[in-house]
Structure 1
Amino acid sequence: MIVKLTKTMPMLFTGAAAAAIAVAPISIADPPPPPCVNADGTPCADVGTVGPGGATVDIPGGPEGAVGPGGATVDIPGGPEAAVGPGGATGAVPGGPGGTAGPEGATGCIPNVGCATVAP
């Protein structure tokens, strides 16, 4: 009986060591990141895309924008809007100033003040 135990003990220790090594990566792995939650408690969703032609973002109830080879746009609900491209740029604040500039010149308006145009 003693002979049989002495021959099987190395196999038992080898099996225990293999199990400990196999479980070790699980015990030291980083915990998964917390789930993404918006400020109102709803789960986060994919809000943008990126690809060779550019990128877009659209946050529900929030800002949206796009950028690509032809230029860029941004729109904040109830706030400023802007666009820029090879032909120039334009921007406006609701109820506030707005303007456009490009190769033909620039123009801008301020409510209750007036508008101005500048030639190239």
Structure 2
Amino acid sequence: MKPFLVAVTIAGLLVNAAPATADPTDCVSPDGSACAVVDGDGASGAIPGGPSGTAGPGMVEGSIPGGPSGAVTPDQVSGCVPGVGCLDIPR
């Protein structure tokens, strides 16, 4: 359940914090700050070397390098915790 919460939290933060106009996907800002993309299909963002997430029609996902990851679709909730395992739950 925690990976699910991580994914939802990251996606929520991205949607609320992402600027209306942003740098292109996979960018690295000169000051090392987070890059975000917001368009009509959703939002995505990443902190260089840190967490990343995406929220769009029918999907929310997020991950932390070397840490938990999770995704939610209309059909499935899934998450992984390194050293513990992964779980997929059909909805």
Both structures adopt the same fold (TM-score exceeding 0.5): yes
In structure 2, runs of 5+ residues without a counterpart are: 1-18
| Correspondence for 1:55 among 18, 21, 29 | 21
One-letter code aligned to 1:56? A
Structure with larger RCO (C-alpha < 8 A, sep 6+)? 2
RMSD: 1.6
Greater Cα radius of gyration, structure 1 or 2: 1
Normalising by the residue count of structure 1, what TM-score does the alignment of the two structures yield?
Answer: 0.52
Normalising by the residue count of structure 2, what TM-score does the alignment of the two structures yield?
Answer: 0.68
Q: CA deviation at 1:62?
A: 2.2
In structure 1, runs of 5+ residues without a counterpart are: 1-49
The percent of aligned pairs where both chains have the same amino acid is 38
> Which residue does the alignment assign to 2:45?
74
Distance, in Å, in 2 between the alignment partners of 1:109 and 1:69 is 29
Distance, in Å, in 1 between the alignment partners of 2:85 and 2:58 is 25
Matched, 1:93 2:64: yes
> Which residue does the alignment assign to 2:73?
102
Q: CA deviation at 1:78?
A: 1.1
User: Which consecutive aligned stretches of 4+ in structure 1 deviate over 4 angstroms post-superposition?
Assistant: none
> Which residue does the alignment assign to 1:18?
none
Matched, 1:116 2:87: yes
> Which residue does the alignment assign to 1:84?
55
One-letter code aligned to 1:77? P
Is the helix fraction higher in 1 or 2?
A: 1
Distance, in Å, in 2 between the alignment partners of 1:98 and 1:76 is 15
